[in-house]
């Protein structure tokens, strides 16, 4: 898996994208370091150790699911590793720490990242999440999530990820139970901390054993090598090449062919040139009935990448324009700076959910973690054109 690291962005979205896909990228091992980060890998190594401690995965029916828990002990090493990588100041480091704890709710909840990778013909469905993803406490009690990412409610085609929050637990001896990935419920349990590897002691000099090897017999004198004479190459019989035209064949056929080509060229010169409308039967207007729903959606995303909120608002449906003013729409578009940055770099894909809804998934990276952020948009037919539905 190819991995690239984006530059640090001081925004709340950095925290959200810093939680995704830890297991796959830790296995991949392609990380880029700043000079300061490379000089001290202890925070990075500690972050990896904690993530591996709290990562569990299972294969299902045409799917692979992994669950990562983010404990409070992760805070110090993660913040320090990101601060070294991005060369943060003390103020920036403190702000990043506060946002990290706030977004993950580390002080008030048990936070898990659930990732579903579906590779079969039928998508994996873990909806409703409130019933299919539960925390099994040490007492045997089943605890439902208090909050979760709505992306998990949609059937998974490809990779779908989302954070799931449970009430804070005093006893950390719990597991996650998940339904929907196979016929039976699967249990995701987390391994205990790894014990340090035993250090092998150096052997004392007294432990050295001296062995006496038998004397080798004298080598026989090598006989001089005989000079090798390669055999002569086999004789290749001469091959008769048939001429392109036989001597008794006339060139009348070739002359007729040349004359026909000339006649076609003269006929094309006499023909009247086609107008622009004749050469392209499809109109260029993006709002016409001939434009597909995906063409309109891609045009909308292109305007978003250019931060052209005025033209984007004109592409919204009538109901969407009634629900949000032009000013508030422009603010929401500008606020999604990380989403727009990925659109501008072309790092996105479109997954259609039914006929009139599409999920736009962008890829972003920070430190050694990759994130998938999605935005679901709708399209609707108004008259002879497609319009965007903004929820």
- For residues 58 and 60, give the distance between their C-alpha atoms in angstroms, rounded to a whole number: 6
Instruction: Copy the structure tokens of residue 90.
Output: 């003390």
Mean predicted confidence (pLDDT) in 338-344: 79
Laid out side by side, the sheet with 147-148 consists of 55-60, 63-70, 109-118, 158-167, 147-148
Average pLDDT, the chain: 74
- For residues 388 and 316, give the distance between their C-alpha atoms in angstroms, rounded to a whole number: 5
pLDDT of residue 17: 45
Q: Rounded to 5 degrees, what angle do the CA atoms 347, 376, 160 make?
A: 70
C-alpha Rg value of the chain to the nearest Å: 34
pLDDT above 60 (res 365): no
Laid out side by side, the sheet with 186-188 consists of 142-143, 133-136, 175-178, 186-188
- For residues 183 and 60, give the distance between their C-alpha atoms in angstroms, rounded to a whole number: 9
Mean predicted confidence (pLDDT) in 172-188: 90
Query: Which tens digits make up the pLDDT trace of 9-49?
Result: 333 444 444 444 344 434 333 333 444 444 446 888 999 99
Q: Which domains does the chain have, with CATH numbers?
A: 33-188 (2.60.40), 293-389 (3.10.450.100)
pLDDT of residue 59: 92
Q: Are 380 and 386 in contact (CB under 8 A)?
A: yes
327 - beta bridge partners?
A: none
Indicate the pLDDT class of residue 355, thresholds 50, 70 and 90. Answer: confident
Indicate the pLDDT class of residue 230, thresholds 50, 70 and 90. Answer: low
pLDDT of residue 224: 63
Query: Which tens digits make up the pLDDT trace of 272-295?
Result: 454 444 444 333 444 444 568 889
pLDDT of residue 91: 85
Per the listing, tokens 């980060």 go with 37
pLDDT of residue 261: 59
Mean predicted confidence (pLDDT) in 238-258: 52
Residue 235 or 198, more confident: 235
pLDDT above 90 (res 311): yes
Mean predicted confidence (pLDDT) in 255-282: 52
Q: What percent of the chain has pLDDT over 70?
A: 62
pLDDT of residue 284: 42
The overall pTM is greater than 0.75: no
- For residues 281 and 144, give the distance between their C-alpha atoms in angstroms, rounded to a whole number: 57
Query: Which tens digits make up the pLDDT trace of 48-84?
Result: 999 999 999 999 888 899 999 999 999 999 999 888 8
Q: What percent of the chain has pLDDT over 90?
A: 25
Closest CA to 149 of 19, 34, 262: 19
* Residue 187, C-beta contacts closer than 8 angstroms, at least 6 positions apart: 136, 175, 176, 177
């Amino acid at each position: 898996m190819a991995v690239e690291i984006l530059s640090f962005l001081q925004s709340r979205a950095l925290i959200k994208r810093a939680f995704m896909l830890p297991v796959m990228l830790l296995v991949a091992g392609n990380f880029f370091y700043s000079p300061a980060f490379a000089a001290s890998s202890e925070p990075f190594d500690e972050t990896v150790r904690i993530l591996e401690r709290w990562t569990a995965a299972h294969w299902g029916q045409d799917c692979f699911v992994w669950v990562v828990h983010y404990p409070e002990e992760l805070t110090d090493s993660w913040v320090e590793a990101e601060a070294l990588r991005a060369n943060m100041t003390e103020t920036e480091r403190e702000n990043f720490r506060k946002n990290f704890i706030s977004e993950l709710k580390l002080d008030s909840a048990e936070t898990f990242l659930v990732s579903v990778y579906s590779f079969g013909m039928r998508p994996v469905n873990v909806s409703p999440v409130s019933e299919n993803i539960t925390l099994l406490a040490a007492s045997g009690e089943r605890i439902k999530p208090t909050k979760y990412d709505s992306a998990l409610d949609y059937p998974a085609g490809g990779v779908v990820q989302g954070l799931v929050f449970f009430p804070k637990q005093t006893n950390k001896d719990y597991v996650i139970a998940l339904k929907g990935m196979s016929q039976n419920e699967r249990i995701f349990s987390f391994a205990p901390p790894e014990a340090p590897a035993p250090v092998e002691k150096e052997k004392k000099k007294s432990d050295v054993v001296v062995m006496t090897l038998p004397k080798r017999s004298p080598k026989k004198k090598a006989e001089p090598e005989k000079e090798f004479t390669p055999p002569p190459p086999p004789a290749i019989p001469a091959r008769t090449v048939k001429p392109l035209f036989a001597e008794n064949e006339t060139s009348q056929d070739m002359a007729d062919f040349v004359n026909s080509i000339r006649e076609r060229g003269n006929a094309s010169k006499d023909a009247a040139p086609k107008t622009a409308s004749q050469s392209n039967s499809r109109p260029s207007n993006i709002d016409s009935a001939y434009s597909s729903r995906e063409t309109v959606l891609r045009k909308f995303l292109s305007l978003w990448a250019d931060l052209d909120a005025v033209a984007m608002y004109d592409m919204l449906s009538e109901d969407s324009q009634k629900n949000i003013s032009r000013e508030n729409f422009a603010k929401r578009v500008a606020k999604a700076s990380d989403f727009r940055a990925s659109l501008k770099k072309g790092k996105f894909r479109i997954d259609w959910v039914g006929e009139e809804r599409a999920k736009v998934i962008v890829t972003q990276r920070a430190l050694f973690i990759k994130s998938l952020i999605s935005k679901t948009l709708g399209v609707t037919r108004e008259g002879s054109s497609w319009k965007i539905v903004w929820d």
